[in-house]
Amino acid sequence: MPPRRNPTARAGELNEAARLADRLQAAGYTKRDIARIIDRDPSLVSQFYTKNKGAAFVPALREALTAVETGGITDLPELTAIAARHTTRRTTSSGARARVRSKAVLITPTGTGSGRVAAQAIASGSARLRPLIAEAARQGLRLAFTVRLAKTAYLHPSGSRTDSPGIRRDVIQRADHTEERSYGSAQTGGFDAADIARRVNAAAGDVTAAVHQWLVETGRIHPDARILHLEIRTWRPH
C-alpha cells in the first residue's frame, strides 16, 4: 500500500485547500476544528492531503482564515457561519445541485424532524445534527433523543424510575451488550430545543459532547461512557 502523504510536506506539493488548512492549524486549530468550520467530517480534511480533495471549500477556508488573521475572530461558531456563506454546493452534469449524504431530514411544517448519526460521525461531534437542533430552537420546537451505549455504561438498570423514561418500552437491548434508551417524548413533553441548542453552542458545536454532558450531569451514565449512536427527534408543542 502506498504511503500516505505527510501533511507537513513541502507547500508546493499541496493543493490550495491543504495549504489553507495548514495555515489554520498554524493558527492553533485542529483538523477537527477545521471540519467543524466547513461543517464536514474530519476525514474530509485529511483527504485534502491524501486524495487532493477540498477545491469546493477553498473560498470558505480562505474567508475563515482571513477572519482569524485579520479580523481576530477565534470563535468556532462564528467561523462556521462565515464559511457557510462561501461554501458552494457541487453540481451534477446537468447543472443541478448535487445531493449531500446526510441522515438529518428537514423539519416539516408541522415541526416533525429527525436525524441520526453513528460511528465516525459520533466521534467527530455529530455535526450533521447541529443544524437540525438550531432550526428546532429557532422554531420553538420540543426535542427528544435516543442514545445507545454499552449496558455497563448506564448507572441505573433499564426500566428504573430514577432514569428517564422509567419504563421498559423505551429501552431496546441488543445482542452486542449495548442498550438504547430514549429521553423525552411528546407524552412527557420532551426538552426545549433552545436549551439543547445552548448546550451545543457551549460545547463549541459538539452535539455528542453536549448530550454526553447532560447524561453525566443528570446521573444517568458514567463519565467515561462512550455514546455509540445518537438520534434526535423534534415536534411542535400543542
Q: pLDDT tens-digit profile of 121-139?
A: 888 888 889 989 999 999 9
**What single string gives the DSSP state of each residue in the chain?**
-PPPPPTTS-GGGS-HHHHHHHHHHHTT--HHHHHHHTTS-HHHHHHHHHS---GGGHHHHHHHHHHHHTT----HHHHHHHHHTTPPPPB-TTSPBPPPP-SPPPPPTTS-EEEEEETHHHHTT-GGGHHHHHHHHHTT-EEEEEEEEEGGGBSS-TT-TTSTT-SGGGEEE-TTSEEEEEE--TTT--EEHHHHHHHHHHTTT-HHHHHHHHHHHTTSB-TT----EEEEEEE---
Q: How many Å is the Cα radius of gyration of the chain?
A: 20
What is the amino acid identity at position 172? I
Confidence of residue 102 (pLDDT cuts 50, 70, 90): very low
Confidence of residue 89 (pLDDT cuts 50, 70, 90): low
23-47 b/e with 16+ CB inside 10 Å = b? bbbeeebebbbbbbbbbbbbebbbb
Closest Cα partner for 213 from 145, 160, 161? 145
Residue 32's pLDDT is what?
87
Confidence of residue 213 (pLDDT cuts 50, 70, 90): very high
Cross-strand pairs, 181: 147, 171
What is the amino acid identity at position 237? P
Distances (CA, A) of 85 to 38, 60, 111, 116: 10, 7, 26, 25
Give φ, ψ of 229 to 5 degrees: -150, 140
Hey, what's the cell of 56? 469546493
Confidence of residue 8 (pLDDT cuts 50, 70, 90): very low
Structural domain boundaries in the chain: 11-84, 113-235
For the ranges 40-54, 174-188, 222-236, which has the lowest average pLDDT? 174-188
Residue 103 pLDDT > 50:
no
The predicted model gives 167-181 an average pLDDT of: 70
pTM of this prediction? 0.56
Residue 57 pLDDT > 70:
yes
